[in-house]
Chains A and B, each alone.
Chain A
Amino acid sequence: MKRSILVAAMTMTTLAGAAAQERTKFEFWYGLTGDLGEVVANHCKLFNESQTKYEAVCTGQGGYDKAEQNTIAAYRAKQQPTIVQIYDAGTLNFMLSGAIYKANQFDKDYGLNVDWKSYFPGIANYYATAGGEMWSFPYNSSTAVFYWNKDAWAKIGKNEAPKTWAEFADDLKALKAAGVECGFALDGDTWMNLEQFSATNNIPIATQDNGYGGLSAELVFNKTAYVDHMKNYKAWLDAGYARIQTTQVGKNLVQAFADGSCASTITSIANHGTVKNTQVPDLKWDVAMIPVLDAAKRTNSLVGGASLWVMQGKSKEEYEAAAAFLKYVTSPETGEKYIVKNTGYIPVTVKGFELLKSEGFYQDPKMAGREVAIASLTASAVGPNSRGIRLGNFTSIRSELRSELEAVFTGQKDVQAGLDAAVERGDQILRRYEQTYKGAALP
């Protein structure tokens, strides 16, 4: 009797073991780190618990840039993951890589039934080819918004955020007069200073529709209203209205805003939660759309964040598992809602947004204001200047501009000279990229 129980128990263990082994495994690499990385890891865990057929093996790569570097290295060694999370700036490299399984094709082959039309146009266009095909799945998305301290603005008798840059300049002056030490925290990050500014004001950054038209695009931001915008930044720094806040200084933009030392800043909506969690207790603040030059002509802001790419060269079984995972993490209920609730990112589809609205998500005082990001992303129809940026080696171009801005802000260089130098060097980078991909057609 005892023995038969033992045998039965053993058989069951073996069977259970076999069942666990039967799960088809596939690899998913992600770039988010810290709290956000844990949210992604937990997303995998939820997927694995939601069914018994597949298992996602999820590995954090320690940063967006590392995720791209490691995927390239792994692909060259034929050890690539099935799915990888790649940040906005890596999109072009992946499109030209020949190493990916196009998302729209994958959707057809494995029956995901993705409703591509439901993606917000600002998000879909950023990740789509010039022909409008989606080659990756938008996952975590954000955009830049204006964070402002209500108490500081109350001192100058205002209870709403400035809508235009001119109004903002007046506010800064008044804030200084009212005794506010630092009215605006800024840094050399081009995503806010150049990219969002140009998109929301319908100004080009480069020719060929910011590069969507072909690899021969040339930078133009040293000849647009962006130059005056940077002159204003410099003037505000000189007048003591604004201050440079970076990690190296001791406090970055978010920290300087959250502890009340600077009255406003512009940064990603993804930091909304961080500010809520780290702010000094009595800080009264809100977010608004970033100021524009002409409030009547505001165009949509650009998306930031990352999308999920499927890599070539995996088995059919792994792709089936990957398909189930992608279905899970992109659906409004199990995907978007989870990401939005646990981070500061925004829903990427109209359906996801509607779902959250219907559940009263944005009425929650902790979350109130996050819908501003959606309003900013959908402020206008997507035009050639607000569609996105499709420039080769854009990471290096950003870095060239950042270095020049650092020189400009610290008074080593004149604004125009700095931007001219950045454009000249940026164009050299673009020409090298064009030559490296000679013969490759931009999709």
Chain B
Amino acid sequence: MEKRATFSNLWLAAAFIAPQMLLVFVFFYWPTGEALYWAVTLEPPFGGSNEWVGWLNFETVFSDPKYWNSVRISIAFAGLATVLSLVIAAMLALFVDRRLPGHQLYKFTFFLPYALAAPSVGLAFRFIFSPDAGFVSAINRVWPNLWNPALDGWDAFLLIVFAQSWKMVGYNFIFFLAALQSIPRSVTEAGAMDGASVLRRMWDIQLPLIAPTLFFLVIINITDSFVDSFGIVDVTTSGGPARATDLMVYKIYFDGFEGKDYSLAAAQSIVLMLLIIALTFIQFRFVERRIHYS
């Protein structure tokens, strides 16, 4: 029989959770409801005469090839940035976990990038990767025009992938390290005594044991690259050149705040929200089953 602590007085219970419910309502449900309302009407910037238009805004969004372009870019961006930052972070964590000389210092410095706001990361990367004046411009001196994110869409896309993964590496690293350190030493030591090399132990013992962390980080990273990449794009490429880095979240910002088409932006927000919900759902429902937590 399961033991449960319950309140006999339901009103008291309600009073205790009311502040939290109020916060959730004010900051989540209300804005979402408002966005939904805007998405099915045409909202003039200054408010006033909303006209009911049904699915029109969604039809406009889905019939727009530029929107699908932005969806493709966002998915590629999320996939690449997540893989890149997870691989780098896992490697760093595995080696810091081996307590190489100076590992205390690494622990601290590897986490620093995450403390920076996305726009600052973007600004730093813009300067470093600027084709005329940045550090990377040396490449262009050897092979002219090899690197130019201002004109070449592929370069611009790589630039934002690098910036996003660099920002997330520190965060992933801390989680990986914590997971690795929670693995009992006896397990790896047993492996060592059986003659497994360092790399073999990492691959066969440590990585499988931190799989739950990996799973958690995949979700966090994908979600972050969908919703928090705005700052990087805005500062480095502004969605260009020729829409090569026009991520979904940036397009929402542009259509809503620059174009003042609040209804179109609201419809896109709803789509993005549903996409994130679906992603999280799929991952928990299907991926989590294959992970053994203990």
Closest to A251 in B: B132
B47: Cβ under 8 A from any A Cβ:
yes
B201: Cβ under 8 A from any A Cβ:
no
A249 to B145, CA, bound (A): 11
A145 to B155, CA, bound (A): 33
B237: Cβ under 8 A from any A Cβ:
yes
Contacts of B239 in A (CB 8 A): 403
User: Do A65 and B240 touch (CB < 8 A)?
Assistant: no
A432: Cβ under 8 A from any B Cβ:
yes
Stretch in B99-107, B164-172, B178-186, B251-259 with 4+ CB within 8 Å of A? B251-259
Instruction: Give, as a whole number of angstroms, the nearest-CB distance from A398 to chain B.
Output: 10
Given contacts A65-B257, A72-B260, A396-B261, contact A436 B42 (CB under 8 A): yes
Main SS at interface, chain B: loop
Those of B151-200 within 8 Å (CB) of chain A: 151-152, 156
Closest to B51 in A: A438
Instruction: Pick the residue among A75, A250, A399 that contacts B131 (CB under 8 A).
Output: A250
Instruction: Give, as a whole number of angstroms, the nearest-CB distance from B224 to chain A.
Output: 24
A437: Cβ under 8 A from any B Cβ:
yes
Those of B224-283 within 8 Å (CB) of chain A: 236-243, 254-255, 257-261, 263-264
Instruction: Pick the residue among B149, B255, B257 that contacts A248 (CB under 8 A).
Output: B149
A246 to B240, CA, bound (A): 12
Closest to B48 in A: A98
User: Do A395 and B258 touch (CB < 8 A)?
Assistant: yes
Instruction: Give, as a whole number of angstroms, the nearest-CB distance from A311 to chain B.
Output: 10
20 A–B contacts from the bound complex (CB under 8 Å):
A69-B257, A76-B47, A98-B48, A99-B46, A244-B151, A248-B149, A248-B238, A248-B241, A249-B132, A250-B134, A393-B261, A395-B260, A396-B254, A396-B259, A402-B240, A406-B240, A412-B242, A433-B261, A437-B44, A439-B49
User: Do A75 and B44 touch (CB < 8 A)?
Assistant: no
Instruction: Pick the residue among A250, A410, A412 that contacts B130 (CB under 8 A).
Output: A250
Instruction: Give, as a whole number of angstroms, the nearest-CB distance from A376 to chain B.
Output: 28
User: Do B258 and A435 touch (CB < 8 A)?
Assistant: no
User: Do B45 and A97 touch (CB < 8 A)?
Assistant: yes
A404: Cβ under 8 A from any B Cβ:
yes
Instruction: Pick the residue among A65, A96, A251 that contacts B258 (CB under 8 A).
Output: A65
Contacts of B60 in A (CB 8 A): 428, 432
Given contacts A407-B242, A438-B51, contact A249 B259 (CB under 8 A): no
B150: Cβ under 8 A from any A Cβ:
yes
User: Do A250 and B133 touch (CB < 8 A)?
Assistant: yes
Closest to A187 in B: B150
B221: Cβ under 8 A from any A Cβ:
no
Those of A44-89 within 8 Å (CB) of chain B: 65, 68-69, 72, 75-76
Contacts of A98 in B (CB 8 A): 46, 48
Contacts of A69 in B (CB 8 A): 257, 260
User: Do B44 and A436 touch (CB < 8 A)?
Assistant: yes
Those of B18-73 within 8 Å (CB) of chain A: 42-49, 51, 53, 60, 66
A436 to B130, CA, bound (A): 41
Given contacts A93-B260, A396-B258, contact A248 B150 (CB under 8 A): yes
Contacts of B237 in A (CB 8 A): 248
Q: Flag B112-152 by CB within 8 Å of A: 1 or 0 each.
A: 00000000000000100011111001000000000011111
User: Do A72 and B152 touch (CB < 8 A)?
Assistant: no
B-side residues, CB < 8 A to A, are 42-49, 51, 53, 60, 66, 126, 130-134, 137, 148-152, 156, 236-243, 254-255, 257-261, 263-264
Known A69-B260, A244-B150, A249-B131; 16 more pairs at CB < 8 Å:
A72-B260, A75-B47, A97-B45, A246-B150, A248-B149, A248-B238, A248-B241, A250-B131, A250-B134, A251-B132, A395-B260, A406-B240, A429-B259, A435-B53, A436-B43, A438-B42
Given contacts A248-B126, A396-B258, contact A432 B44 (CB under 8 A): no
Shortest 9 CB-CB contacts between residues of A and residues of B: A250-B132, A248-B150, A396-B259, A407-B242, A97-B46, A249-B150, A406-B242, A250-B130, A250-B133
A93 to B243, CA, bound (A): 26
Instruction: Pick the residue among B46, B130, B260, B263 that contacts A249 (CB under 8 A).
Output: B130
Contacts of A248 in B (CB 8 A): 126, 130, 149-150, 156, 236-238, 240-241
Instruction: Give, as a whole number of angstroms, the nearest-CB distance from A280 to chain B.
Output: 16
User: Do B42 and A435 touch (CB < 8 A)?
Assistant: yes
Instruction: Give, as a whole number of angstroms, the nearest-CB distance from B208 to chain A.
Output: 44
User: Do B241 and A410 touch (CB < 8 A)?
Assistant: yes
Contacts of B236 in A (CB 8 A): 248
Those of A389-429 within 8 Å (CB) of chain B: 393, 395-396, 399, 402-404, 406-407, 409-410, 412, 425, 428-429
A167 to B128, CA, bound (A): 40
User: Do A404 and B261 touch (CB < 8 A)?
Assistant: no
Contacts of B126 in A (CB 8 A): 248
Contacts of A407 in B (CB 8 A): 241-242
User: Do B263 and A436 touch (CB < 8 A)?
Assistant: yes
Contacts of A72 in B (CB 8 A): 45-46, 260
Q: Flag A76-115 by CB within 8 Å of B: 1 or 0 each.
A: 1000000000000000010011110000000000000000
Closest to B134 in A: A250
A370 to B45, CA, bound (A): 37
A393 to B66, CA, bound (A): 18
Closest to A249 in B: B150
Instruction: Give, as a whole number of angstroms, the nearest-CB distance from B261 to chain A.
Output: 6
Contacts of B66 in A (CB 8 A): 425
Contacts of B255 in A (CB 8 A): 396
User: Do A410 and B131 touch (CB < 8 A)?
Assistant: no
Contacts of A425 in B (CB 8 A): 66
Given contacts A246-B150, A396-B261, A432-B264, contact A251 B44 (CB under 8 A): no
Instruction: Give, as a whole number of angstroms, the nearest-CB distance from B99 to chain A.
Output: 43
A110 to B156, CA, bound (A): 54
Contacts of A436 in B (CB 8 A): 42-44, 51, 261, 263
Instruction: Give, as a whole number of angstroms, the nearest-CB distance from B141 to chain A.
Output: 13
Contacts of B263 in A (CB 8 A): 436
Instruction: Give, as a whole number of angstroms, the nearest-CB distance from B90 to chain A.
Output: 32
Instruction: Give, as a whole number of angstroms, the nearest-CB distance from B104 to chain A.
Output: 39
A437 to B44, CA, bound (A): 7
A429 to B242, CA, bound (A): 18
Closest to A432 in B: B261
Contacts of A76 in B (CB 8 A): 46-47
Instruction: Give, as a whole number of angstroms, the nearest-CB distance from B125 to chain A.
Output: 11
Contacts of A435 in B (CB 8 A): 42, 51, 53
Contacts of B132 in A (CB 8 A): 249-251
